[in-house]
Amino acid sequence: MTRRLIAVAAVFVLTALSAHAANPARSREAAMPLEESASLRALFDLAPGVVETQDGETVTAFAMEVVVARIGPDGELIKGCVSSHDEAKKFFAAPVEKIERAEGHEH
Amino acid sequence: MKLRGLLLLSLLAVAASLSAGTGRMIIVNTDAPGVGLNDSTPAVPIAGNAGTTLGQQRRNVLEFAAQRWTTQLDTDVDIRVRANFQSMDCDDTGVVLAAANSVTWSANFTNAPRENVWYPAALANKFAGRDLTPNDADIFVMFNLAMDTEACRGDRGWYYGLNVDEGNDESLLTVALHEIGHGLGMSGRGIDFFDNRPTVYDLHMLDLTAGRTWDQLTPQQRKVSSTNTGKLVWNGPNVTAKAAQLLRRPPVLTAGVKNYDVGTASFGPALSIASMSGRVVPAVDANNEEGPLTTDGCTQYDNAADVAGKISLVDRGTCTFVQKALMAQAAGAVGLVIIDNRKEANCVNVPPSMSGSDPAVHIPVMSLTQDDGTELRGQATDNTVNALLRLDPTRMAGASEGYLRLYAPCTFSSGSSLYHWDTTASPNLLMEPFISGDLLDSVDLSIYQMMDIGWTQWPRTGRRVLRR
């Protein structure tokens, strides 16, 4: 029972995380803003659930940490690490100057 | 018979390994043939990475990162890291580099140190002395395959060297070390606990204003705490003890009777005790294309004679910090103070750290908050204010009341979860949210965070692990 539930949950996580794995990289001509990307949302589409086990309880799809980056005017990546879709959206939607300021770049 | 002998030898080897407490971190490659970690595209060996295919180089980096962590963690149970490369978002504005965490979290298992507390899989296994979820890995980590495509970053991409000379590329090693750190336990559920139970991380998140750890706060109190800049700290004893050794003393600028906190620059000379003193003189330069303000210090000073031998005071903005430093230096200034040109309302504002690099800069450069800078400028108008830059021996950069700060930005979420050290820490730390480019390939204070949540240091006799 436990193994099956864990396996199901693991498959769920893998499926969510790989939802767009087959797609090529979003091209530079991609129309949709990155913060609206379905695959970005899918990364955080977690549905944790407790599974009773023979030794304690186990929960899957619990949390996620994603390293994201904005591309500065000089082409350098300005990185951040977020744990929710809301944080990721803020990061990608903010003016890059604001991200740069927060990280000690000029402007 | 021969087979049985080999089997026996293997079992003995495994037993010896386990009895020595040397559980390994195993990279479980889940990529399809020819893809990602199995990419057979020829590659030239680079900086300690002898791989001759792209896939081999990627695997080497991940195994190197795994070794970095496991040579310093003591566990009898193997830690399995499920790893792959897959296409993730990338466009003109930004890119998703990697994602990771613990595959499962467990509570109330055999030998759990605390009841009703969630532990990440690898740590739960360590306490239980066995793999609680043998059918799956303990940590998952995935990296953006698109980073190495022309469409994403042009001629830039992942850097596969086993050092930190990534240049314009992005160090896979640094990102992998950071992400595995999350998987080992620098992680949690945020404000809303799952099933009203904290993670082991929450037990050490101390709000200095409330005087309580997160497991003792209500969700509403945790929400307030999550933006309590400078007052949300890690109270674990191992980090606290080591922070006192590792963190630098913060510089302070004494002008008149007041001490100002200052931000530091990634360029110019290291600040040392009493590294600079002199009168503070506001710089005046031309109002032109390179700098529309006469106070931005972006071009040659009009009052160079006044500034020579003194500390120049300019406003942030328009040109780079390095450019301002070079202009101050050309005017003969002995130091430069840059005043922040914005502030966040209703927040504790801190003087910004300043990025950039130029070996030609040889004067100390520091920043002030807008309020502090405005005050200093007001005093400096008659060029009679003396200032002394020194290190404050009573404090640590990135700590409050002796505790290492957690990242709790006041308003704007510039891209971070709570599961990071604050960006005011100096030197920069692996588990800061911005994953700075000046990191060494070490796991610095983060290894002590792991010890605070229950990992033990390898070897048990206690080897010095700081490599900075």
Q: Nearest by CB to B109, from A33, A56, A62: name it.
A: A56
- In this complex, is the C-beta atom of B96 within 8 Å of any C-beta atom belonging to chain A? yes
DSSP assignment of B349-363 equals --PPPB----TT--S
Residue of B nearest to A102 (CA): B414
Interface of B with A in 357-376 (CB under 8 A): none
- In this complex, is the C-beta atom of B80 within 8 Å of any C-beta atom belonging to chain A? no
Looking at residue A106, its pLDDT comes to 58
Instruction: Dump pLDDT digits (tens) for A19-31.
Output: 444 344 444 444 5
Q: Which of B77, B95, B195, B314 to mutate to test the interface with A (most CBs of A within 10 A)?
A: B95
Q: Which of A17, A65, A76, A105 to mutate to test the interface with B (most CBs of B within 10 A)?
A: A65
Closest by alpha carbon to B455, among B137, B90, B134, B204? B204
Integer Cα distance of B369 and B338 in angstroms: 9
Residue of B nearest to A55 (CA): B109
Low-confidence ranges of chain A (pLDDT < 50): 1-5, 7-8, 10-16, 18-30, 107
Contact B183/B144 with Cβ under 8 angstroms?
Answer: no
Query: What are the tokens at B250?
Result: 């913060």
- One-letter amino acid at B51 equals G
Cβ contact, residue pair A17, B142, below 8 Å: yes
For residue B61, what are the CA distances in angstroms to A63, B58, B83, B332? 25, 5, 12, 47
Cβ contact, residue pair B413, A87, below 8 Å: yes
Cβ contact, residue pair A68, B96, below 8 Å: yes
> How many helices (H) and strands (E) would you count in chain B?
11, 23
Looking at residue B41, its pLDDT comes to 97
How many CA atoms lie within 13 Å of B106's alpha carbon, on the beta-carbon side? 28
- One-letter amino acid at B42 equals P
Integer Cα distance of B323 and B440 in angstroms: 27
Per-run averaged pLDDT (10 residues), chain B, 468 residues: 40 36 88 98 97 98 93 89 97 94 96 97 96 94 97 94 88 95 94 95 98 97 92 96 91 89 87 77 87 89 95 92 96 95 82 87 94 92 85 91 92 69 88 74 83 78 36
- Within 8 A of B86 by CB-CB distance, chain A residues are 17-18, 21
- Within 8 A of B128 by CB-CB distance, chain A residues are 55
- Within 8 A of B321 by CB-CB distance, chain A residues are 106
How many C-beta neighbours within 10 Å does residue B161 have?
Answer: 20
In this prediction the pTM is: 0.84
Burial B90-117 (b: 16+ CB within 10 A, else e): bbebbbbbbbbbbbbbbbbbeebeeeeb
Contact A16/B78 with Cβ under 8 angstroms?
Answer: no
Closest by alpha carbon to B90, among A44, A34, A100? A34
Integer Cα distance of B208 and B288 in angstroms: 47
